[in-house]
Homo-oligomer: A and B are copies of this chain.
Amino acid sequence: MTAELICVGTELLLGNIVNTNGAYLAKKCAALGLSMYHQSIVGDNDKRLEETIRTAVKRSDVVILCGGLGPTKDDLTKEAAAKVMGRELKEDEHTRERIQAYMDNYVKSHPGTKITDNNWKQALLPEGAVAVDNENGTAPGIIMEENKTIMILLPGPPNELIPMFEEKIYPYLRKKQPEVIASEMVKVCGIGESQVETDISDLIEKQSNPTIATYAKTGEVHLRVTAKAENEKAARKLIKPYVRELKVRFGANIYTTDEDKSLESAVVDLLRNQDISLTTVESCTGGALSARIVDVPGASDVLKQGFVTYTNRAKRKYVMVKKSTLKEYGAVSEKCAKEMAKGGCFVTGSDAAISITGFAGPDGGTEQAPVGTVFIGCCLKGKTAVREFHFGGDRSKIREQAVTYALILLRECILENFERRNEENTK
């Protein structure tokens, strides 16, 4: 079955709010195995609303509308939907009673409010429609079925829409939908998107079920393998060989197959599992690396200390960068990054330290090291690696890339250290 989404509201067309309902409902429809090919946003205007609904009914099996069910004159979704479906609006007794009870309760907790007459507009329902009770507001949801079309109207506020969808609409649609969709995620770091796509172009070329989709993030590519089948188990079975193949192709560049796990969280896991304590020493990123690590709950297990040594003086005072290094090579140099990382380990007694020093712009930079030049150092159990990067983009983009590549370098060093130890043990 195909589903189509129409979000109603002038505030969306003006960009005053971000359409999070759209993303929420799209995700739910995908989980239900409904194929979505179109989403539209239209304002509180009867003609354009009717036209948009008419187009949707022609091309999709399930049409979901959200927003515009409230009590004001601007709320026109129900009226337009009823017109397209050729139905009259009639008062629904059950809904009127529910609204009365809801309003009585509201007035009790907000003394001085009056129930305005326009609220009763919300008790009007298209003939033959099913009212879906709203536990968190007055406007009911509405379901209409006509021939092969299912039309669902939902209130706009997310705190009303989400519980209503989870508790009532999802189970309703689940029954209507014979097929199940399942997907698995493979997250790759340290390889560019076009490289990843080239590496799997043969798989993408022949894909039908499952499909593989790639999503690029800074320093990462996420691969989603999605399959359709009659039940979840059968779908998972279709996915499995593809995930196995991706693991073969991307090996250690895969940092997780867990949908919800971030790169920083994977790195914190690695540190914790191998009992490695960490210190960060940041210059141009100014604490953004440590902040990203602390974003992971339980990061205190591994993060011993963070230094933001933005000035030369702080680099010397706190992490023992040599005066001669700063003078001869400058703060943005391989040598300085190395000393920052080593110094970070030394002064704190951490097992590992990661350092970042670079020119994030817009000012600064030299002929040899223009804006975007960043040195990242990683000292782990006495071994120090430094890598030089030339990032593009503005100040914040350069810093974001520096943080991500610092995590990637740290991860690589931990994995190498692990392999080295393993080799030594097997000798």
* A interface residue numbers (CB < 8 A to B): 10-20, 22-30, 36-43, 45, 48, 52, 70-73, 102, 105-106, 108-110, 113-114, 116, 118-119, 135-137, 157, 159, 163, 191-195, 197-198, 204, 213-216, 224, 280, 282, 284-291, 293-295, 297-300, 303-311, 313-314, 317-318, 348, 361-363, 372, 388-397, 399
CB of A358 to closest CB in B, whole Å? 11
CB neighbours of A313 from chain B (8 A):
304
Q: Is the CB of B40 within 8 A of A109?
A: no
Given B38, B102, B198, B289, which contacts A48 in the complex, CB threshold below 8 Å?
Answer: B38
Q: Could you pull out 20 A-B pairs where Cβ atoms are within 8 angstroms?
A: A12-B23, A14-B27, A15-B23, A16-B215, A19-B22, A36-B43, A71-B197, A116-B195, A116-B198, A118-B197, A136-B392, A295-B395, A297-B362, A298-B363, A304-B311, A304-B313, A305-B309, A305-B318, A306-B307, A307-B308
Instruction: Provide the residues of chain B in CB contact with A39, threshold 8 Å.
Output: 12-13, 40-42
- The answer to whether A11 and B118 have CB atoms under 8 Å apart is no
Q: Given contacts A295-B286, A388-B109, are A72 and B309 in contact (CB under 8 A)?
A: no
Could you tell me if A286 and B297 are in contact, using CB atoms closer than 8 angstroms? no
Residues of B within 8 A of A192 (CB): 106, 110, 113
- Complex: how many Å from CA A116 to CA B192? 10
How far does the alpha carbon of A119 sit from the alpha carbon of B279 in the complex, in Å? 39
Task: Identify which of B72, B105, B114, B310 contacts A300 (C-beta below 8 A).
Answer: B310
Determine the residue in chain B with the shortest Cβ distance to A224: B16
| Smallest beta-carbon distance A399→chain B, Å | 8
Taking A40-B40, A309-B305 as contacts, is the C-beta distance between A299 and B286 under 8 angstroms? yes
Enumerate chain B residues within 8 angstroms of A113, measured Cβ to Cβ.
191-192, 195
Nearest chain B residue, comparing its CB with the CB of A106: B392
Minimal beta-carbon separation of A14 from chain B (angstroms):
5
Knowing A136-B397, A307-B308 are in contact, say whether A27-B37 is a contact too (CB < 8 A). no
A113 to B195: give the CA distance in the assembly, Å. 7
Write out the residue numbers on chain B whose beta carbons fall within 8 Å of the beta carbon of A102: 392
Additional pairs, 9, CB under 8 Å, beyond known A157-B216, A286-B299, A298-B363: A12-B22, A13-B39, A17-B23, A72-B194, A72-B197, A136-B397, A282-B306, A285-B291, A304-B313
Residues of B within 8 A of A308 (CB): 280, 287, 290, 294, 303, 305-308
Q: Hey, which chain B residues are within 8 Å of A52, CB to CB?
A: 38
The residue of chain B having its C-beta at the shortest distance from the C-beta of A396 within the complex is B295
Given A39-B40, A43-B37, A394-B163: A304 in contact with B297 (beta carbons within 8 A):
no
**Chain B residues whose C-beta falls within 8 Å of the C-beta of A216 in the assembled complex:** 157
What residues of B have a CB within 8 angstroms of the CB of A109 in the complex? 372, 388-391
Q: Which of B105, B287, B297, B361 contacts A395 (CB 8 A)?
A: B297
Q: List B contacts of A10 (CB < 8 A).
A: 213
Question: Inside 8 A of A12's CB, which chain B residues have their CB?
Answer: 22-23, 26, 39
